[in-house]
Amino acid sequence: MAPRVSVLLPAWNSAAYVEEAVESILGQTFGDFELLVLDDGSTDGTADRVLAMGDSRLKVFRNPVQLGLSGILNVGLALAEAEYVARMDSDDIAAPDRLALQVAVLDSRPEVTVCGADLEMFGDATGASDAATEDCDIKALFLEAARNVFDATSLFRRDFLMEHRIRWNQAYVSGGDLAFWIDFMRAGAVFTNVKKPLLRYRRHPAALSRNVTGTASAVYRIRKGLIADFYPHLSQLEVAALANLFAGAPPGGGSFSFSSLCEAVAAATKAKQWTEPVFGESRSVLDQIVNNRVLRFQQAILRQP
- What is the distance between the alpha carbons of residues 5 and 295, in angstroms, rounded to a whole number? 44
- Regarding whether 56 and 28 lie in a shared domain, the answer is yes
Residues facing 35 on adjacent strands = 7, 58
- Regarding whether 198 and 97 lie in a shared domain, the answer is yes
- Regarding whether 155 and 60 lie in a shared domain, the answer is yes
Please give the full DSSP string across 63-121, using - where no structure is assigned: ESS---HHHHHHHHHHH--SSEEEE--TT-EE-TTHHHHHHHHHHH-TT--EEEEEEEE
- Regarding whether 250 and 148 lie in a shared domain, the answer is no
- What is the distance between the alpha carbons of residues 292 and 300, in angstroms, rounded to a whole number? 12
Amino acid at 222: I
CA angle 32, 119, 248 (to 5 degrees): 135
- Regarding whether 136 and 42 lie in a shared domain, the answer is yes
Among the candidates 210, 240, 262, a domain finishes at 210
- Regarding whether 218 and 265 lie in a shared domain, the answer is yes
- Regarding whether 204 and 161 lie in a shared domain, the answer is yes
Look at residue 214 in the predicted model and tell me its pLDDT.
62
- Regarding whether 163 and 150 lie in a shared domain, the answer is yes
Closest CA to 86 of 199, 200, 179, 185: 199
Closest CA to 164 of 156, 152, 172: 156
CATH number at residue 166: 3.90.550.10
Cβ neighbours of residue 174 under 8 Å, at least 6 residues apart? 69, 208, 209, 211, 214, 215, 218
Pairing of strands 5-11, 33-40: parallel
Residue 34 three-state SS: strand
**Chain mean pLDDT for the chain:** 91
- Regarding whether 195 and 167 lie in a shared domain, the answer is yes
Altogether, the residues listed in the chain come to a count of 305
- Domain with 135, as residue range(s), is 5-210
CB atoms inside a 10 Å sphere around CB 231: 22
Looking at the structure of the chain, the number of domains it has is 2
Please list the rounded mean pLDDT of every run of 10 residues in the chain (305 residues): 96 93 98 97 93 93 92 96 97 97 99 97 77 98 95 98 96 87 99 97 64 72 96 96 80 70 91 97 97 84 67
**Angle between helices 176-186 and 212-230 in degrees, nearest 10:** 20
Look at residue 124 in the predicted model and tell me its pLDDT.
66
Look at residue 210 in the predicted model and tell me its pLDDT.
46
Contact of 34 with 7, CB cutoff 8 Å: yes
Look at residue 259 in the predicted model and tell me its pLDDT.
84
- Regarding whether 206 and 123 lie in a shared domain, the answer is yes
- Regarding whether 287 and 192 lie in a shared domain, the answer is no
- Regarding whether 153 and 226 lie in a shared domain, the answer is no
Among the candidates 210, 238, 253, a domain finishes at 210
Among the candidates 210, 235, 268, a domain finishes at 210
- What is the distance between the alpha carbons of residues 69 and 10, in angstroms, rounded to a whole number? 7
- What is the distance between the alpha carbons of residues 56 and 182, in angstroms, rounded to a whole number? 35
The H-assigned helical ranges of the chain are 18-26, 46-51, 69-79, 98-108, 135-141, 158-163, 176-186, 212-230, 236-244, 258-271, 283-303
Contact of 279 with 139, CB cutoff 8 Å: yes
Indicate the DSSP class of residue 284: H
- What is the distance between the alpha carbons of residues 196 and 105, in angstroms, rounded to a whole number? 13
